[in-house]
Structure 1
Amino acid sequence: MGGVAMGVLTGRTALVTGGSRGIGRGIAERLGRDGARVAVHYGTNEAAAKETVAAIEAAGGEAFALGQELGVPGDAEALWAAFDAHADGLDILVNNAGIGASSPFATITEEEFGRVFAVNTKAPFFLARLGAERLRDGGRIVNVSTGLSRSALMPDLLAYSMSKAALDVLTRDLAKLLGPRAITVNSVAPGVVATDNTAWLDGDEEARARAAAYSALGGIGSTAEIADVVAFLASDDARWVTGAWIDATGGSMT
C-alpha cells in the first residue's frame, strides 16, 4: 500500500518555546516531520513564527503559532491559556526559549541578572508546573541547557551559565516528581551552534576557527544536530531515559 508513513510522534501535541528561530525552529520542524502537532511559541517575532508554521505545513505537518513574552509576571498562565484555545492536552514540552548570553561578571547589572533568570529559569519552571496538569501520562519535557553549565569555557557568561545550571536542577528533580506518571524530563546541552544568536561568528574566520576548536569533532553545531537529539528524547525510544543531561556540544566538554 502507498501513502505517507506514520511518524513516530503522530497523534501527539508538542509545545516548543522560542520555536520561531534558531535551535527552536529546528526542533519544531523536526517534531513536525515526526508527526507531532506543534505549537510554535514566539516572544516578539510573529513573522518568523508564521514562517516556521508554514515550513512545517509545507512538509505535511500540523502547527500553530502562539505569541507571549516570557520573563514577565503571568507569562506561563497567559501562554497556557493561548495554548488551550488550540489544543486539548499536551504530550511534549520543549523549554527552548532563552536569553543566549549575559554581560560579563564585572559589568552586569541587577536588572539584567534578574531578566536572564526570569526568562531562562523562572519561565521554564512555571511553564512546567502549569504544563504538568496538561501533560498526558507518558509525556516528555526537554529543557535546552548549555555546555557552559558544566564548563567554565566562557566564564564571562557567568550569569547565563548560572541560569542554565538552575534549569538542570529543575530537570533532575522534576524527573523524580513526574516519574510515577511515566513522564520523562531531560536536559539537552548544546555547544556553539550557528544561529542568529551567534552573529559574532559571521565574517570572522578567526572567531569561527576558535569556536570550532572547542569541539572534539572540529566544527560548529547546526540546529538540526540539536533537534535530532531532542527528537530522540521525545520519542518512545527514549522512554527509559530521564533526569539526564545530554552533552550535545560536539565533544566540547572533552
Structure 2
Amino acid sequence: MNSIGQPIRRGVGGFADGIKYFFQGLGWVARNPGQWLFGLIPALIALVLYVVTLVLLGTYAGDLAAWATPFADGWSAGTQNALRVLLGLVIFALGLVLSVITFTAATLVIGEPFYEKLSERVEEDMGGVYKGADVPLWRSIARSVRDSLITLAYVLMFTIPLFALGFVPVVGQTVVPVLGAAVSGFFLTVELTTIAMERRGLARKQRFALLRADKSPALGFGVVVFVIFLIPFGAVVAMPAAVAGATIMVRGRLTPHHTTTP
C-alpha cells in the first residue's frame, strides 16, 4: 500500500506498463482525431514561444558569454574567442535542455482548459469522469504555475549537475544520458498526470507520493515521452497522446479507487 492507501503493483513489468499507457493514449487520439487537433492548439502556441526564445538565446549567447567572462578581456584574441565561443555553445545547449524539460509544463499551463476537456473525454470513454470540487479557472491556472515552478526547481537540482557531468569523458557519454532520460522522464510524468490527479483532489505532495511509490511505470511512461519529445516537433504532435495516456495510467493504475463518478 502507498502513503494514501492505494494498492501498488511493483515488478519488472512496471516499466513496460508505463510505455504501454503512452501507446494506449496514442491509440485513443488516433480514434479521436478531432481531440488530437484540439490538443495541438496550446502545443503550437508554446512551440512558437519557445522557438522565438531559442532564436534570441542563439543570437545573444555570445554577448552573454562575454558578459560572464570579464576576466578574459586581457587575454589574446584567439584564446578569448575560443573560450567565449565554447561558453556560448554551452549556454545555448543548456537552453535546449531546459526547453525540452519545461515545454510540457508551459504547454499544460497555456492549455489548461484544452487538456482538462481532453482528459475528461478519455475518462468518459472509460466509463465515467470523476467529478471533484469545482475550482475557478484562474485558481487552477495559478496552482498549476506554482506547482510547475516547484517541479522545475526539483528538475534543476538534478539536471544542472548532470549537464556538468556530461563533459566528463566516458561517463558523460554513457551514464549521464541514461540518468538524464530517467530524471526528465519521471518529472514529465509528474506534469502530465497532474490534470487527472487534481480532478481527484490530490495535492502536489500526494501526487509525488503516488508516483514515487510506483516508480517503474512512471519512468516507463516518462522516458518514452521524453525520447519522442526530443524528435523535432515530436512534443507538439505527441502532446495530446501524452495527456491521454497519462489519464489512462492515473485511472487504471495510480488511483484505481477513484475511477467512477461519485
Higher strand share: 1
TM-score by structure 2 length?
0.30
Indicate the structure whose relative CO is greater, using CA pairs within 8 Å and at least 6 residues apart. 2
